[in-house]
Amino acid sequence: MDQRVSFVTLTVRDLERSRRFYVEGLGWSPVFEDGDEVVMFEAGPRLVLSLWRRSAFDAELGLERGGGAVAGGVPPITLAQCVRSRAEVDEVLALARRAGADPVTSAVDRVWGGYSGYFADPDGFRWEVAWNPGPLGQVVLPDAEVE
């Protein structure tokens, strides 16, 4: 598995409040927004910081207490690595399974047009392995140009 983080996602309770803090308070500029669901910022070369509405995060990852590898549920963040193809998603998830990751969820087609699955590291931190054909999925790949 490449040694790369492409996205850092934080789950937020009130997306509008968080947007105000980062945009008006800290002076950041979003690179992508989708209504009351998500706000994304370029946070480095090939890196995106994403703020994601908690209910959507919960629905995809299961934050419910008792359901995760860590006492109290799944940690309220994900790290993601974007890869170049659907096949590479499956390969990395298989590697994680061999490495002892538990749980590993098989990849599925996502409404945003990509294909991804998750594995948990030893502390329950979820890594999403994603093939993302959209523009943001491409700029984070290792051969994308950086300033």
Residues that bind its own copies in the complex, under the rule CB under 8 A: 1, 3-6, 8, 10-14, 17-18, 21-22, 24-29, 41-47, 49, 70, 72, 75-77, 79, 95-96, 98-101, 121-123, 125, 146
**Quick one: 111 or 146, whose CB is closer to its own copies?**
146
Distances (CA, A) of 5 to 66, 83, 85, 137: 27, 11, 17, 12
CB of 39 to its own copies, least distance (A): 12
CA dihedral 107, 75, 48, 56 (to 10 degrees): 70
CB of 66 to its own copies, least distance (A): 13
**Quick one: 13 or 109, whose CB is closer to its own copies?**
13
CB of 127 to its own copies, least distance (A): 9
Q: Which helix (H) or strand (E) holds 131?
A: strand 126-131
> DSSP secondary structure string, 70-117?
STTSS-SEEEEEEESSHHHHHHHHHHHHHTT-SSEEEEEE-TTS-EEE
**Quick one: 76 or 86, whose CB is closer to its own copies?**
76
| Residue pair 122/102 in contact by the 8 Å Cβ criterion | no
- Token pair recorded at residue 73: 């549920």
**Quick one: 29 or 111, whose CB is closer to its own copies?**
29
The rounded distance, in Å, linking the Cα atoms of 12 and 141 is 26
CB of 38 to its own copies, least distance (A): 14
CB of 106 to its own copies, least distance (A): 18
**Quick one: 16 or 111, whose CB is closer to its own copies?**
16
